[in-house]
Structure 1
Amino acid sequence: MFRTAILALVTSLPGALGAHPHIFVDATVKVELGDAGMITGVEVTWVYDDFFTLLILEDMGLDPEADGVLTEAELDELRGFDLVEWPDWFEGDLYLVNGDETAEIGLPTATGVAVEEGRIVASHRRDVTPFPAEGTVIEAYDPTFYVAYELVGVRLPERCAAPITEADPEEADARVAEIVGEVDELTFETLEIGHLYADKARITCASSS
């Protein structure tokens, strides 16, 4: 998500700029395959934590009854709230990597939104410049680690699979501790450490022959 667009409310709260992360998201990625086993698109679903959901709904003036039930009009207003600005450099916190190559993923189009059990569930679709599926590693992370993603599911055609390998937080914490010892405080504030905490899913597909 593009943090400068939707996190202004959070960062304005007292103490909001303390330890990372501040927002927690469960991510699911549906991978679309075209001819010759090439990835041609992805649909991404983000399930936001309940506190961030509350902040967004209050900030947007939605769900005044605070019962977690939004009208169709309110859902229409909420749809795409996290897709407001996507500059050219923003990767959308999603990475498809195969060897030394990283897939080019297009801008998002909102495909759905709901509030379930007090959490916003928002989906969007993005085109992918055809990219080989076999061996591609899927990661969902915010480089700044302001948002902590948990990759909870990868959906693929039946002939393919992408088991998820969870990140080791203790190992990541140890690496961050090393980094802290190597740089000054000002430099640390600009470091990108989100990849250290990223779950990974590697795609494998059965031969079509």
Structure 2
Amino acid sequence: MKALRAFCAVSWLAPAWVAAASLPAFAHPHIFIDAGATLVFDEEGRLGAVRIVWAYDSLFSLVVVEERGLDPDFDGVLEPGEAEQLSGFDMNWIEGFAGDSYLLAGGAEVPLTRPLEYDAAYEEGRVVSTHLRALETRVAVGAEPVILQIYDPTYYTSYEIDLPVRLENAPEGCVAEVYVPDPEAASEQLVAALQEFAGSDDPLFEDDFPAVGDLFAHEVRVTCGP
């Protein structure tokens, strides 16, 4: 059912893709991830770290597991010790990779460290990984939202924040809310970008294609107050 949900997640794009059938196939997602987050506050009540959860779609999970020779009986259960082979499989980030997670405070991006801790498991046929990243500068959260966005700028991977979002050690009065984009408006902007590049004779035009993933970005907005 999770795989079906992942397929349906882009079904609203169908009318737009019919109109843009001749446009390049690279600008639609190939991997689908359900995301969750825990925002961790320090002893002084400042936001100090974020713990991200990625639950991969069943098809991609199957590829990951099969490549490692795990779950040979396809029962969706790993033998003791096998889960350790999954830990960190998606943490080998190239230099400059933002981790598909962006934290904004006061309209400015707050840099995050590379993963400090990470783990992975295989649950009901899906690979689920977690990682912890610290804020390079801790943030005091007030009435103006601090925003955590989770998205792939290239839109190769589609993220939906539909796993639990939690606040850890947060001061009293802090709340977190999840906001999702308008899918129709996002798809219209995507098609407009695709049409601009349609028919290009430049073999490298994909390198110049604008980042569109933020159009589909789910985000967590955190506020604190009396």
Calculate the TM-score normalised by the size of structure 2: 0.77
Specify every segment of 5 or more residues in structure 2 that has no aligned partner in the other structure, as ranges. Answer: 1-24
Aligned counterparts of 1:109 and 1:69: Cα–Cα separation in 2: 27
Larger CA deviation: 67-76 vs 174-183:
174-183
Letter in 2 for 1:66: F
Larger CA deviation: 33-42 vs 117-126:
33-42
The residue that corresponds to 1:41 in the other structure is 49
Aligned counterparts of 2:111 and 2:160: Cα–Cα separation in 1: 22
The residue that corresponds to 1:104 in the other structure is 111
- 1:63 Cα deviation (Å)? 1.1
The residue that corresponds to 1:199 in the other structure is 218
The residue that corresponds to 1:140 in the other structure is 150
Specify every segment of 5 or more residues in structure 1 that has no aligned partner in the other structure, as ranges. Answer: 1-16
Please state if 1:60 is matched with 2:68.
yes
Deviating runs (4+, > 6 A) in structure 1?
none
* Pairing 1:19-98 to 2, within 5 Å after superposition: 20-87=28-95, 89-98=96-105
Q: Counterpart of 1:203 in 2: which secondary structure?
A: strand
Letter in 2 for 1:125: L
Identity of aligned residues (%): 36
Aligned counterparts of 1:124 and 1:38: Cα–Cα separation in 2: 20
Aligned counterparts of 1:193 and 1:34: Cα–Cα separation in 2: 34
The residue that corresponds to 2:197 in the other structure is 183
Q: Counterpart of 2:64 in 1: which secondary structure?
A: helix
Pick aligned residue for 2:173 from 145, 150, 159: 159
Aligned counterparts of 1:165 and 1:115: Cα–Cα separation in 2: 28
Letter in 2 for 1:102: E
RMSD: 1.9
Q: Counterpart of 1:105 in 2: which secondary structure?
A: coil
The residue that corresponds to 1:4 in the other structure is none
Q: Is the 8 A contact 2:116 2:134 kept in 1?
A: no
The superposition leaves residues 55-76 of structure 1 with CA deviations (integer Å, 9 ceiling, x where unpaired) of 1111111111111111232111
Work out which of the two has the higher radius of gyration on C-alpha atoms and give 1 or 2.
2
Aligned counterparts of 1:154 and 1:133: Cα–Cα separation in 2: 17
